[in-house]
Amino acid sequence: MIDGIELASSGLDAYAHVQETIARNLANANTVGFKKNTISFKSIMSGGAGAETSTLETNTGIDYSHGSLKYTGNTFNMAIDGDGFFALEAANGMRYTRNGQFQLSNSGELITDTGAKVLGQGGPIVIPKGGGEILVDKKGIISINGKEIGRFMITNFNDLTKIVPTGDSTFAAPEDSIDDSGEAKFNIAQGYLESSNVSVVTEMVDMITNMRSYEASNNVIKTFSELMERLIANQAT
């Protein structure tokens, strides 16, 4: 009976974590380039023969599937159609993102809304002053009035489990996780942004299912507690 209470109690903790994950996804459903957080759990047995207990262990992750591309018409909005991440030079080190909602700084550098510099293959991308039509082709080559001025650095990874979310749809990654093979397949879409890959409908359905599971575990604990009280009362009489 005690084992049943412990399992139900660990279930409550697991379902609470799931609810937090779903809430985070829903809060970022409209965040450009956001990648859905995932969570799963499995039963872990511990203890020796005749004294085994079971608890639920949670495992978190990121769903890196691509979001849909949305047309904005903004010259400095970029989306990656395919694999890879934009490389950024942030105040706290190298960062990577699928959020191509860029803008120009006062000095002409292409930056994110948090001030991180967008990197090209030769360093931070700088748009020269003087005007002219700015075009970015499918391979990320930037040109003004037909003259090439830079090229986006698109970084791919050989193991996505090694990259770590750092907020604002950015990620940090160790150097040994970077794929230098040059085999990444992508196109750059100027004037587009990648939407979040969160499905609001799916998240809402999962939330309802999870709440029902939480209530079921809570009822199990309540039932076990009532049985324990009865047993204790019977032994006292």
Token pair 């998240």: residue: 203
35 contacts 64 by C-beta, under 8 angstroms: yes
CA dist., res. 100 & res. 112, Å (int):
8
Q: What is the pLDDT of residues 96-138, one digit of tens each?
A: 999 999 999 999 999 999 999 999 999 999 999 877 899 999 9
Beta-carbon neighbour count of residue 83 at 10 Å? 16
Query: Does residue 83 lie in a domain region?
Result: yes
pLDDT at 52 over 70: no
Bridge partners of residue 80, in order along the sequence: 188
Q: Are residues 91 and 159 in the same domain?
A: yes
With a CB cutoff of 8 Å and minimum separation 6, the contacts of 204 are 26
∠ CA 188-194-195, nearest 5°, is 170
Q: Are residues 6 and 52 in the same domain?
A: yes
Name the residue range of residue 7's domain. 1-63
Q: Are residues 163 and 179 in the same domain?
A: yes
Query: Does residue 222 lie in a domain region?
Result: no
Q: Are residues 120 and 172 in the same domain?
A: yes
pLDDT (0 to 100) of residue 185 = 85
Whether the pTM exceeds 0.85: the reply is: no
Q: Are residues 21 and 97 in the same domain?
A: no
Q: Are residues 83 and 42 in the same domain?
A: no
Q: What is the pLDDT of residues 6-25, one digit of tens each?
A: 555 566 777 788 889 999 99
Q: Are residues 58 and 74 in the same domain?
A: no
